[in-house]
Amino acid sequence: YVPAGSMEPTLLIGDELLATKYPYGYSAASLPVSIVLPSTGRVLGALPALGDVVVVRAPSNLSQIWVKRVIGLPGDRVQMREGRLWINGAAVKLQDDGKAQAETDTGGYVPAERFTETLPGGHQHLIFKGGANMLDNTPEVVVPPDHVFVMGDNRDNSADSRVPVSMGGVGLLPVANLVGRVDALVGSWDLGMASKPLWTWPSGLRFSRFFTSVK
């Protein structure tokens, strides 16, 4: 399940995910979460597609599972300029999709702007962007071989490839850390209901999100 809001609005806190492992092959990262082994090469390995939502083992702690979106593949040049994503020297297309409320990890809400982002190749997804953020401007980096650049769709609340591992982020993610591709939601429950009386908990079920695809 999703414990934090780094992938809003695509994924909400409390969503339960269905991820498939075979698209990227198998490595030590494919083992059950409780089993932590040193990184290995991949069997039947394949790179993700640009725009895939992926489950990864956090480089700083392989026992932690995070969810991010693949933004850059080996050889791509990735940069943030004034809050906008640039890939290979071109600004990624953004279309305004109105105002929204982003849930914080503490259960509160903050205003956000919602945009449709179109990656090279045509993959479209929604993102949240609020005000100015320390990650709005980054140096251009070239994704090295056997790595990917990942980001959260909630651009103001995501420790991703813009943040070095030494500072709690993902850094440039080794493909060996890929666990699988997120394909669908199997359920969703508002985790904020846990602090309310037990008999009100069923009202936190988000039935409209049950058995829906993730893109």
H, E, C per residue of the chain = CCCCCCCCCCCCCCEEEEEECHHHCECHHHCCCCCCCCCCCCECCCCCCCCCEEEEEECCEEEEEEEEEEEECCCCEEEEECCEEEECCEECEEEEEEEEEEECCCCCEEEEEEEEEECCCCCEEEEEECCCCCCCCCCCEECCCCEEEEECCECCCCCCCCCCHHHCCCCCEEHHHEEEEEEEEEEEECHHHHHCCHHHHHHHECHHHCCEECC
CA dist 40 and 103 (Å) reads 36
pLDDT value of position 84: 94
Q: Between 103 and 161, name the one with better pLDDT.
A: 161
Do residues 26 and 42 make contact, with C-beta atoms less than 8 angstroms apart?
A: yes
What pLDDT sits at residue 73? 98
Q: Give me the residue label for tokens 């591992």.
A: 165
Catalytically annotated residue among 6, 30, 158, 161: 6
Of 182, 138, 215, nearest in space to 16 by CA: 182
**Residue whose token pair is 């949240």:** 128
Whether the per-residue pLDDT at 35 is higher than 90: the answer is no
Q: Which pLDDT score, from 0 to 100, does residue 28 have? A: 79
Strand partners, 189: 205
Q: What is the mean pLDDT of the chain?
A: 91
User: Which has the higher per-residue pLDDT, 89 or 193?
Assistant: 89
Tokens matching residue 192: 């904020």
> How far out from the chain centre does Cα 143 lie?
17
Write down the pLDDT at residue 9. 96
- Rg of the chain on CA atoms, in Å: 17
Structural contact between residues 171 and 163, judged by C-beta atoms closer than 8 angstroms: yes
Of 27, 68, 129, 188, which one is the catalytic site residue? 68
pTM: 0.91
Instruction: Report the percent of the chain where pLDDT is more than 90.
Output: 67
Instruction: Give 38-96 pLDDT, tens digit per residue.
Output: 777 778 778 999 999 999 999 888 888 999 999 999 999 999 999 999 999 999 999 99
- Residues 94, 115 contacting (CB under 8 angstroms): yes
Q: Is 129 among the residues known to form the active site? A: no
Residue 6 designated active-site: yes
Distance, CA of 27 to CA of 34 (rounded, Å): 15
